[in-house]
Amino acid sequence: MVEKLNKRFFNEAKRYIAGGVNSPVRAFRAVGGEPIFIKSACGSKIYSEEGREFIDYCQSFGALILGHAHPKIREELKKAVDKGTSFAAPTKQETELARIIIKAIPSIERIRFTNSGTEAVMGVIRLARAYTQKNKIIKFIGSYHGHADYLLDCAGIPQDFKKHTLVAPYNEIKKVQSLIEQHKKDIAAIIVEPIAANMGVVLPQKGFLETLRELSDKHNIILIFDEVITAFRLLFGGAQDFFKIKPDLTCLGKIIGGGLPVGAFGGRREMMKLLAPEGNVYQAGTFSGNPLTVNAGLTTLKILSGNNPYLKLAKRTQAFCAQIKHTAAKYGIRVKINSVGSMFSIFFTDRDVTDYNTAKLEDAALFKKFYHGLLKEGVYLSPSGFEANFISTAHTVSDIEKTQDAIDKTLKNFPA
């Protein structure tokens, strides 16, 4: 009955919305079946249109470190709504949010808010090209930096848009060195997720980020950290504080909006002053710094600053992942789990996952079976093996125990 309802909802959506969804991963193509249509959410739980409850480890793909519908954020949003939903004019709250972010992340001396991570990346790359007066960028295979034309390889993008984008495997510094040697006079920037979170969670190997910093300094290249996911997730100061590496420019998103649409980019003062209206690098957005988003973000960062939940979240996630490994071993199932802080990914493979090529070696059929087994038990993971999962401050000991029971029941029925 549940499957029939989901199918009906999805078929109806496809009559009016392209593909039935407003972002491709929501369509469940990576896991099969029809997507779950969500009616409401609170804390660690989401509730579907057909009345089911799920423990949620997607958490809006990492935006909700405090869980869904946090009471303090709801309270502040209600106050903000009463004052107006959009001004397209400066507010004091924008400055306050900027001040908190700059204090938390020392590499950022000036910031510009946008409406999404994609917009932040578009702005930061334009700025890097203007600052260096060079054209090419280096990105890493399997990393996602939004859907700008020069960062994707899909239909509808002219080849001329792609020719200035050079790609290397994540964690392969020799390939980066080779690209720099071939194009060193025209490389404006290297953009990297300090922890890759769009091929599953993949950590940088020892020396990888450090060498990117050294190469950037040596060849007058702007090092950009895409911290849309990792900022305020691992530590209050983000992945750059976690790894003690300072990029030139940083992209932000997710958590700084408290669950509302947001993006931002920032860096050194002399670079940021090139942006209009001070400089001639144009970037704009009617809803940038939207008062609802800013108030939700401010509330979130103030709670995180006061509670400092990072060590507790990391320990809980580490214990959770260790128990999954133990359960898999009990049933003779090959599994690799990558985790850091409160982020984790589960791969059905016997090889260490260090880049996109090794991530692709996962047994996709087993992941689909695992995914739908957990759905039946009331556990919702991000609907792709190439997406990260997250534990929030709203997840309770009971949630974790119920999830472990669901994993045990699911893996028990797996082939060895």
If one counts every other C-beta atom within 10 angstroms of the C-beta of residue 53, the result is 12
Instruction: In whole angstroms, give the CA distance from residue 350 to residue 327.
Output: 15
Give the 3-state secondary structure of the chain.
CHHHHHHHHHHHHHHHCHHHCCCHHHHCCCCCCCCCCEEEEEECEEEECCCCEEEECCHHHHCCCCCECCHHHHHHHHHHHHHCCCCCCCCHHHHHHHHHHHHHCCCCCEEEEECCHHHHHHHHHHHHHHHHCCCEEEEEECCCCCCCHHHCCCCCCCHHHHCCEEEEECCCHHHHHHHHHHHCCCEEEEEECCCECCCCCECCCCCHHHHHHHHHHHCCCEEEEECCCCCCCCCCCHHHHHHCCCCCEEEEEHHHHCCCCCEEEEECHHHHCCECCCCCECCCCCCCCCHHHHHHHHHHHHHHHHHCCHHHHHHHHHHHHHHHHHHHHHCCCCCEEEEECCEEEEECCCCCCCCHHHHCCCCHHHHHHHHHHHHHCCEECCCCCCCCEECCCCCCHHHHHHHHHHHHHHHHCCCC
Active-site residue 92, yes or no? no
Give the pLDDT of residue 184.
Answer: 83
Active-site residue 170, yes or no? no
Give the pLDDT of residue 1.
Answer: 53
Pick the catalytic residue: 56, 226, 355, 399?
Answer: 226
pTM (2 d.p.): 0.96
Pick the catalytic residue: 45, 134, 254, 369?
Answer: 254
Give the pLDDT of residue 125.
Answer: 98
If one counts every other C-beta atom within 10 angstroms of the C-beta of residue 89, the result is 8
Pick the catalytic residue: 144, 150, 170, 380?
Answer: 144
Active-site residue 218, yes or no? no
Give the pLDDT of residue 3.
Answer: 66
pLDDT profile of the chain (416 residues), mean per 10: 79 96 95 96 97 97 98 97 97 98 98 98 98 98 92 88 94 98 95 96 98 98 98 98 98 98 98 98 97 98 97 98 97 96 97 94 94 97 97 98 98 80
